[in-house]
A and B are shown apart, each in its own frame.
Chain A
Amino acid sequence: MTIEDLIEEFDDLGDWADQCEVLIDMGRDLSNMSDNLKTEDTKVHGCQSNVWMVAEVKSEPLRIELTADSDAMLVRGLLSVVLMVYSNRSPQEILETDVRDIFSRLGLDRHLSPARKNGLSGMVTRVRAIAAEAVGLQS
């Protein structure tokens, strides 16, 4: 499924309860992060439930691979949207994309608490900083 497919599906559903179910299903399908990666360093602050994120820079082609996890299924669903947008993308693609626009096209911005949005912003800032650094190394 591409992000455009998901936006279309959310648009068709229209109802937050149904959208929630889709997010929970996506959360269930997200692979678990191994426990040894869940450290203070990988923890995303500003989240109500625990959220962890690891970003690895891979080469040939240069891309950033993301892994993320949470205790809460709905949050895992949101993380899988973030991963869909950012993981395995080149640093340039990441810098050109703002997942917050996608969240707003999904209509999720209306349903996310400010605390959740802050947590999300923290993740986006981190991913983009890593991307910017990778671009810098490349040039």
Chain B
Amino acid sequence: MTTDMSQRPPFDVEAVRGDFPILNRPLESGRHRKGKPPAFLDSGASAQKPQCVIDREREVEEQFFANAYRGVYYFGARVDEELEATRSGIAKFIGAESTDEIIFTSGTTMSLNLVARAWGGKFLEPGDEVLITEMEHHANIVPWQMACAERGATLRWLPLTEDRRLDMSRLDEFLTPKTKMLAVTSMSNVLGTINAISELARRAHDVGSLICVDAAQSVPHRMTDASGQHNEVEPVDFLAFSGHKLYGPTGVGVLYGRRDLLCEMNPFLGGGHMISQVYRDHSTWADPPAKFEAGTLPIVQAIALGAAVEYVSGLGLDRIHAHESQLLGYAHEQLATISGLTIYGPDLEHKGAICSFTIDGAAAEDLANLLDIRGVFVRHGHHCAMPLHEVLGVQASVRASFGVYNSCSDIDRLVDGLQFALERLIVAEK
């Protein structure tokens, strides 16, 4: 699986950017002075799509669209084939043992809700504990709060260290034989912190707990090995991610689940395709993945997600990681030149391509608005991580997150834009 980097051409960011039409169009909004393309620094929320993904969606709609798993006619059969090819591509991409372990959902949020409800709803008992962490996205908090409330289980929070990593020295305090599920992000959407999933999985399994990984942020940036076969790491039990952060369409995501668990747990939504037999007084379930794919799937989006997976695999996650690490290093270096700026999260070695920061005396919303005037697109707010912002002691932060198409010039534009904003917000005050 691993590729020798020396045998491949260097990562050409300009060529990569050329694959993304939206990043090559001058802004024409009436709110931007010069017609420059945007410096898009919000891939952590949703990434832009390369031409091949856009083309794929169009190809399906124009050439062979039909509902999936229902028609024997040519279009229907073709859609089924394409969906299964995508499923198989995704299984390979994230290191699943079998394609039956890949469930199409609407995105990470639905995937995590599916686990909390369909697994938690059956297996959580009063007195059981679910362990989450202080750096989780609301999508990996709220479903567990709901499941725990319904089943009389207790939700516990693993604290962070001063440098905003999981406090592994206190893991034994929180991860105990009472723990039935450890639900944890593989990469924080605010701090960028990369968590040691293999070690967490091993420690969870040691106490008889399962592990469910919110991999929405890490999948586009780092190799994923759900079954642990490729890298001899500890396998995980559930893993969720979204298509739209992986340069694919919105409305489609994936839940990976260990086959035996998927067979044992309850279904999530009831409806067409997820059944084996429907009687008047009860129904029986189809085998996974169909058991969890009630109703019509986001067919076009799922097939185009296959194109996105191929695109990312073609660039190579090793090369993407090297490129983004370099970018992150440059961003840290350049942002450090701005006085009063605090970056949240650990040192470069322990984080992925995200920089969240605040600047003394400047509200995050003002910074984001003024950056927008300069065509620099960042996110501001609590980034769906309110408990984390409480730990950080700030209400809101600005987040710049990077993708394959970002270059050092985007970071220069960010820094220039921040200077522009600060001149207006702070310097004028003096």
Contacts and interface: CB of A to CB of B under 8 A. Distances in A.
- A and B interact physically: yes
Interface string A1-37: 0000000000000011100110011001000000000
B282 to A, nearest CB: 45
Interface string B370-386: 10010000001100000
B31 interface: yes
Interface residues of A, number: 19
A71 B395 contact: yes
A34 B190 CA distance: 32
A38 to B, nearest CB: 12
B365 A49 contact: yes
B363 A49 contact: yes
A16 B30 contact: yes
A interface secondary structure, majority: helix
Interface stretch (B168-176, B211-219, B421-429): B421-429
Interface residues of B, number: 19
B370 A28 contact: no
A50 B370 CA distance: 18
A48 interface: yes
Contacts of B381: 48
Contacts of A48: 365, 380-381, 396
B196 to A, nearest CB: 34
Interface stretch (A60-68, A72-80, A82-90, A95-103): A72-80
Contact of B31 (A24, A73, A110): A110
B33 A20 contact: no
A24 B424 contact: yes
B195 interface: no
B366 interface: yes
A72 B363 CA distance: 5
B31 A16 contact: yes
A75 B396 CA distance: 15
A111 interface: yes
